[in-house]
A and B are shown apart, each in its own frame.
Chain A
Amino acid sequence: MMDELELLKKDWQKKDNHIPQLSYSDIHKMTWKKSSSIVKWILIISILEFTLPHLLYLIPSFQENMNIYETIGIKKYFHAVTLIQYLVVFYFIYQFYKRYKEISVLENAKILMQKIIKTRKTVKNYVIFSLSMILFTVLLLIIGIYLNDDFANSISELNNKATDMSPEKLKIALMIGIGAFGILLTLFMGAIYFLLYGRLLRKLNNNYRKLKELEI
């Protein structure tokens, strides 16, 4: 076997004179191209994840929907939750930026992988936090509806449409509806997120596992 490997090494090193060479201008052009590394992708996806949910507030109908919090009397809680939420989001963005900056191609393979995984973990925690916030907001809504006796009257428009339903029934139907919607939305967003990153990082995770196995 040693002889075979030596033969291979000899052959390998002989190739140098035969490899087709790229010209100066070919290489020069490449330095101006954009990278499509997974680190770049993590950055792009993360920026989308940080900004997209907040863009929702810019849609007029979404703003109108915010009135519901006032109607059912949980507006001040909602404001408090929003404030905490933004503080946490800024913390995540800061953490993410710090870790992202630490990623360097000059590290050894293992540390490079560790740093990428760590950066992604920040995003993962952020997504888990966001999804929990959706569920929490939904819960807040349900509690608000439950505690508010005038609820059916205050949204008279809805009440007119559902004339065959007693206010009590309408209330329960709404609570169940909102609850189911919240859970489905969370599951849907969670699934998209994990599929996206699962695909993006499959190779990295495999290689990292193999490197870790070497330590045993």
Chain B
Amino acid sequence: MEHQFVTDLQSNQNIVHKVCTLYTNDKDSHNDLFQEITIQLWKAYPKFRGEAKFSTWMYRVALNTAITLYRKSKRSIPTLDYDSVIFKIKADEYDETEEEQLKLMYKAIKQLGDIDKALVFLYLEDKDYREISETLGISEVNARVKMNRVKTKLRTILNP
């Protein structure tokens, strides 16, 4: 069972890395959160019966750990300095305006609250409103309304 779990997690680890990047501000915290999510996933693994996809199941556990269970080991000031591939923009792939927009967007997302981050994360991962509402425990309508609000918030940050 352990071998199966580690193999499954290894091939789906990007989900956890992305959650960690959103919710932490430095490399140590990133690794710390990654470890806590791994522990929680492993603890819950016996209850995973393969009814859902392993990745779908991971989203819930990873977000629950980041939002609720994880205790920040130390105070860290939000910066974008930490060397995370996720927030790095490959300049040669975009024109100057796009590059600037992306940079601002990622910076803006980092400033959002934990719940808003979860909404944006699930949106970026192409999850539909049903899945978003089931993960967070809110109604689909509220998920939609809230997502629109977050979009407006991001818009205000981008175009002050």
Contact = CB atoms under 8 A, between A and B. Distances in A.
Partners in one complex: yes
Interface of A: 1, 4-5, 7-9, 11-13, 15-16, 18-24, 27-28, 30-31, 33-39, 41, 104-113, 116, 200, 203-204, 206-207, 210-211, 214-215
Contacts of B60: 105-106, 108
Interface of B: 2, 5-7, 9-10, 13-14, 17-18, 34-36, 38-40, 42-44, 47, 57, 60-61, 63-65, 67-73, 85-86, 88-89, 98, 101-102, 105-106, 113-115, 118, 123-126, 134-139, 142, 145-146, 151, 154-155, 158
Contacts of A21: 10, 13
A39 B70 CA distance: 9
Given A210-B113, A211-B115, A7 B101 contact: yes
B64 A9 contact: no
A186 to B, nearest CB: 28
B124 A13 contact: yes
Contacts of A210: 113-115
B7 A24 contact: yes
Given A28-B6, A35-B36, A108-B134, A1 B124 contact: no
A22 B30 CA distance: 13
13 contacts: A4-B105, A7-B98, A9-B123, A24-B6, A27-B6, A27-B10, A33-B39, A37-B70, A38-B69, A105-B40, A110-B136, A214-B115, A214-B138
Contacts of B145: 214
A4 B126 CA distance: 15
A106 B65 CA distance: 10
Nearest to B146: A214
Nearest to B121: A12
A35 B85 contact: no
A65 to B, nearest CB: 39
Contacts of B17: 19-20
Contact of A35 (B40, B102, B105, B126): B40
Contacts of A33: 35, 38-39
B68 A113 contact: yes
Contact of A31 (B42, B106, B124, B158): B42
A106 B138 contact: no
Contacts of A106: 44, 47, 57, 60-61
